[in-house]
Amino acid sequence: MEIEVKFRVDFEEIERKLKSLGAKLAQVEEQEDLYFSLPSNELLRIRRIRNLGKSYLTYKLIKDPGRNEEFDEIEVEVSSFEKTREILKRLGFREDVLIKKHRLVYKLNDVTFELSNVENIGSFLDIEVISDSPDEAKKKIWALAEKLGLTEKDVEPRLYTELIKESH
């Protein structure tokens, strides 16, 4: 399972702190995420990473709706963003929102830090661990969050899809 906690952050400040923690920059991504309408505890997305020329089809089941920290995720790489979009439209799925992010991916051991500047909604840090034990994963995430000076009040429980709709 994918366990992640999202924090609202100052991009430059958090990047400095990540580096001083010893996290290594693994990837720079210019993402375009196209979400399709599904029941509220499910997500269906095509992600294009423009600078890498790659696209992914992703299904997520939200295991803890409202908190949005625990996800059952299935993802495949696809050879074409536009053709995948066309297939989903033909199958009856309706496009919901498009979200554009400039994202830096940092890694420290088995923890992934996704530091994103999201068009129209601000900067966020997702701290992510893949684990079958949400409790242990969250302990690990919170130990690192504290080292970055982040607290419960910095948590953003809303999904990016919710934030972008509320920004309109």
Where does this chain bind a copy of itself (CB under 8 A)? Answer: 38, 42, 44, 57, 59, 61, 74-80, 83-84, 86-87, 90-91
Cβ atoms of residues 148 and 126 within 8 Å: no
Whichever of 80 and 120 has its CB closer to a copy of itself, that residue is 80
Structure tokens at 107: 């890694």
State in angstroms the smallest separation of the CB of 40 from a copy of itself.
Answer: 15
Query: Computed over its alpha carbons, how large is the radius of gyration of the chain?
Result: 16
DSSP-based three-state secondary structure for 125: strand
State in angstroms the smallest separation of the CB of 91 from a copy of itself.
Answer: 7
State in angstroms the smallest separation of the CB of 59 from a copy of itself.
Answer: 5
Whichever of 80 and 133 has its CB closer to a copy of itself, that residue is 80
Cβ atoms of residues 10 and 123 within 8 Å: yes
